[in-house]
Amino acid sequence: MKYGNIKITVVGLGYVGLPLASALSNYYDVVGYDTSKKKILELNKGIDSTNQLKYLEIKNKRLMFTNNPSEIKESNLVIVTVPTPVDKKNIPDISLLKNACKTIGINLKKKTIIVFESTVYPGMTEEICRKEIEKYSKLKWKKDFNLGYSPERINPGDKIHKLENITKVISADDDKTLQFLKKVYGKIIKKLHLAESIKVAEAAKIIENTQRDINIAFVNELSVIFSKLNINIYDVLKAAETKWNFLKFEPGLVGGHCIGVDPYYLTYKAKQIGYAPKIILSGRKLNDNMTRYLYLKFLNLLKRKNLNKKKNILLLGITFKENCNDYRNSKPLEFYKLLSKHKNFKVDVHDPFVDKREIKKYLNLKIIRTPAKNKYDAVVLLVKHHQYNKLNYKKLEQFGKKDFIVFDIKNTFFKKFKKDNIFTI
Ligand SMILES: NC(=O)c1ccc[n+]([C@@H]2O[C@H](COP(=O)([O-])OP(=O)(O)OC[C@H]3O[C@@H](n4cnc5c(N)ncnc54)[C@H](O)[C@@H]3O)[C@@H](O)[C@H]2O)c1
């Protein structure tokens, strides 16, 4: 295969698939395929609802967008970036991934390479995806088509760690395929790590986020203990971090579709093979309970101000993390839902990133444009969006009533303003 003649289809054009398709289209002909009609309509107009790409990056001449899966027939490389969530019981929901494999299978021609970038548990590419593709294509793995796995590490909202400058792990089912992927990915990414097998690459991805989840759970647990001891967790961390081998993690809400989800893929597989994970699930449980813990802590703070009276509350930030517009599986949103059930609370939500029309349509949640002056009994900082980092105390004070309090779960205002009415976690 000549490298200039490669045609690539990227299946699933979300946070992972779209930047990848755009970067590859600087060197290859790329088709972006997505099942969402709305997404394709938007992309054809040069609009990226994930806010990752600029108009010109979408409107590349060698990049086309379609809802028509038959384009896969023309490709020699297919890259799969569809979601891999969990269901209500935290069991991996691989229905979207299986659907994508079915579509690929139906449209597969011989000699195609299929690379999965969706996060999966070790073994899923070769055991589940391979079977689905064989079933619908009637072709044979390793004879008629090859597989690869290359986990994605992008971090929405992060302007430093981007696709092009972070090391990317690649793997394949044979060396020839691996060398092919090295050339293709090597065009857009400076540093590649060639993993020993597909299973190794799958496992590496899943433990990256699991490690982070466990470490955050540890500092979250510390924050609960130190709060009871009346010691500021952030002051403790600042002191402990002066030791050369102390790991830096902050307490907080773990949501989104990676760190809060991926550990369940690993524990699911572990249980399947007869091992009951201990550390991973207890970390997960602790992080999941943090929203309720912070809610109760906030109620406690408000008790000083007579809870039987109506209270106006302003929430700053509703997305699952800072500087991005994604509110799926967002813990700040969970916090909002707990507050809004309280009969005495009137809650206003502000977030500079979310699509106000979309969130109103799907969750019936109205996001205010500007907080009213002198209105609020309490302000809660839930997400460290850069706009909030820039606020000065005078501005913050304008929103509150005379004796307002601030609950700052990110230690931003608390650290900066050092005021008696600001509390942290
Ligand atoms: N978002 C991140 O920061 C991130 C980082 C690393 C890894 N991942 C992993 O990458 C994968 C994709 O995540 P994402 O955040 O880009 O998801 P996303 O929800 O932003 O986008 C997925 C896209 O896939 C489309 N889709 C769903 N089923 C499809 C199908 N059968 N065929 C074609 N298109 C289909 C959806 O319409 C959507 O546009 C997941 O496994 C996730 O865990 C995500």
Write out pLDDT tens, residues 134-150: 999 999 999 999 999 99
Ligand 1 center to residue 81 CA distance, Å? 5
List pLDDT tens digits, range 279-322.
Answer: 999 999 999 999 999 999 999 999 877 767 899 999 999 999 99
pLDDT at 418 over 70: yes
- How far is C-alpha 240 from the geometric centre of its chain's CA atoms? 29
Look up residue 35 and give its two tokens.
């099942």
Handedness of CA 170, 173, 179, 185 (dihedral sign): negative
Residue 374: partners with Cβ closer than 8 Å, 6 or more residues away: 398, 399, 400, 401
Same domain as 161, residue 25 = yes
Residue 211: inside a domain: no
Same domain as 32, residue 126 = yes
List pLDDT tens digits, range 370-415.
Answer: 999 999 999 999 999 999 999 999 999 999 999 999 999 999 999 9
Same domain as 293, residue 186 = no
Best residue among 9, 11, 20, 34 to mutate for probing ligand 1's pocket (most ligand atoms within 8 Å of CB) is: 34
User: Quick check: CB of 412 below 6 Å from ligand 1?
Assistant: no
Residue 352: inside a domain: yes
Q: Note if the pTM is more than 0.85.
A: yes
Same domain as 123, residue 66 = yes
Q: State the residue range of the domain holding 370.
A: 233-424
Tell me the backbone φ, ψ of residue 127, rounded to 5 degrees. Answer: -90, -50
Same domain as 282, residue 178 = no
* Three-class DSSP category at 201: helix
Residue 202: inside a domain: no
How many CB atoms neighbour CB 110 within 10 A?
A: 10
For residue 151, which atom of ligand 1 is closest to its CA?
7
Last residue of a domain, one of 169, 196, 223: 196
Q: Report the pLDDT value the prediction gives residue 2, as an integer from 0 to 100.
A: 54
Instruction: Give the whole-angstrom CA distance, residue 384 versus residue 381.
Output: 7
* Three-class DSSP category at 298: helix
List pLDDT tens digits, range 245-273.
Answer: 999 999 999 999 899 999 999 999 999 99
Same domain as 245, residue 190 = no
pLDDT at 181 over 90: yes
Same domain as 281, residue 172 = no
Q: Report the pLDDT value the prediction gives residue 303, as an integer from 0 to 100.
A: 86
pLDDT at 165 over 60: yes
**pLDDT band (50, 70, 90) for residue 1:** low
Last residue of a domain, one of 151, 173, 196: 196
For residue 82, which atom of ligand 1 is closest to its CA?
24
List pLDDT tens digits, range 84-118.
Answer: 999 999 999 999 999 999 999 999 999 999 999 99
User: Quick check: CB of 166 below 6 Å from ligand 1?
Assistant: no
Residue 214: inside a domain: no
Asked whether the beta carbons of 46 and 59 are under 8 A apart, the reply is yes
pLDDT at 224 over 60: yes
At 265, which CATH number? 3.40.50.720
Residue 206: partners with Cβ closer than 8 Å, 6 or more residues away: 119, 120, 121, 122, 262, 263, 265, 266
Write the DSSP assignment of 379-390 as a string of letters.
Answer: EEE-S--HHHHT
User: Quick check: CB of 17 below 6 Å from ligand 1?
Assistant: yes
Please count the structural domains in the chain: 2
Q: Report the pLDDT value the prediction gives residue 388, as an integer from 0 to 100.
A: 97
DSSP structural state of residue 64: E
Q: Report the pLDDT value the prediction gives residue 63, as an integer from 0 to 100.
A: 96
State the average pLDDT over residues 177-182: 98
For residue 154, which atom of ligand 1 is closest to its CA?
5
- How far is C-alpha 421 from the geometric centre of its chain's CA atoms? 33
Same domain as 175, residue 33 = yes
Same domain as 270, residue 416 = yes
Q: Report the pLDDT value the prediction gives residue 5, as an integer from 0 to 100.
A: 80
pLDDT at 157 over 90: no
CB environment 16-39: b (16+ within 10 A), e (fewer): bbbbbbbbbbeebbbbbbbbeeeb
Asked whether the beta carbons of 114 and 72 are under 8 A apart, the reply is no
Give catalytic residues, as residue numbers.
258
How many CB atoms neighbour CB 372 within 10 A?
A: 12
- pLDDT above 70 covers a percentage of the chain that reads 99
List pLDDT tens digits, range 25-45.
Answer: 999 999 999 999 999 999 999
Same domain as 247, residue 192 = no
Q: Report the pLDDT value the prediction gives residue 156, as an integer from 0 to 100.
A: 78
List pLDDT tens digits, range 49-86.
Answer: 888 888 888 998 999 999 999 999 999 999 999 999 99
Residue 218: inside a domain: no
Rama region for 90: left / alpha / beta (φ>0; ψ in -120 to 50; rest): left
For residue 117, which atom of ligand 1 is closest to its CA?
10
Residue 227: inside a domain: no
Mean of pLDDT over the chain: 95
Last residue of a domain, one of 168, 196, 224: 196
Same domain as 179, residue 240 = no
Same domain as 288, residue 152 = no
Residue 56: inside a domain: yes
pLDDT at 3 over 60: no
Residue 264: partners with Cβ closer than 8 Å, 6 or more residues away: 86, 90, 91, 92, 284
Residue 225: inside a domain: no
User: Quick check: CB of 35 below 6 Å from ligand 1?
Assistant: yes
User: Quick check: CB of 12 below 6 Å from ligand 1?
Assistant: yes
